[in-house]
Amino acid sequence: MLLFFRDLPSLKNLCLPFSTMLPFNTNSFSNTLGATNRATQQKALVSPFKEEFDGKLKYVLQHIATFMHHCKESGVIEDFKFLIKENQPPPDIDMSDQKGKAAWLSDSRRFTYGNILIDSSQVSLEKVQQAWDEIHSALKKFSSTPDPVKMPQASQKLVSFQNRKWLYKCLRNSWTPNMKTIMLCLELHF
């Protein structure tokens, strides 16, 4: 959705003030598969906004702010991460050593991530598509619901997939029929 607004001709150079948002979960939802509050989180995610958005430029910033507030309140800010780049290992990690190599492969410094909601300056449709493809391919690898304790990454990807579906439902319920027609052109990409 944010990419659509960024790519509108009259908003192409618009700089959105998202840098003040916290990039982590500060709400009461655990955002974990199988959590007792997961159904409540789903209900919060799918609830439509108070005012429908009709796609008019004068309401774009308010609609984006409402969407971001909704994501923050329902604990899904982290679901909008995307890969910016893979970093080289620091000199202190010996990649010829199996332990060093294994440590680097799971090191938090290995990748640099961005967040679509916080900093849209490095986002492109390709990056969003890549993030979507990564989640989608991870979901294809298991045939039953992953155990959050035994398979935390797979569980996280399933939660993220669910969250995105629920947010999309929320947006569709918050758009006028005209706006839904406008957005049809982007739906073909995903």
Position 81 scores a pLDDT of 84
- The full set of domain ranges for the chain reads 2-187
Q: Would you write out the chain's pLDDT as a tens digit for each of its 190 residues? A: 444 444 443 333 333 333 344 444 456 788 888 889 999 999 999 999 999 999 899 999 999 899 989 998 888 988 888 888 899 999 988 889 999 889 898 888 999 988 888 877 777 778 777 777 887 787 788 788 888 888 888 888 889 888 988 998 999 999 999 898 888 876 654 4
Q: Report d(CA 190, CA 188) in Å as an integer.
A: 6
How is the chain classified by DSSP, letter by letter? -HHHHHHSGGGTT-----TTS-SS--SS----TT-TTHHHHHHHHHSPPSS-B---GGGHHHHHHHHHHHHHHTT-GGGGEEEEEEPPPPTTS-TTSHHHHHHHHT-TTSEEEEETTT-GGG--HHHHHHHHHHHHHHHHT-SSPPPTTT-HHHHHHHHHHHHHHHHHHHHHHHB-HHHHHHHHHHHTT-
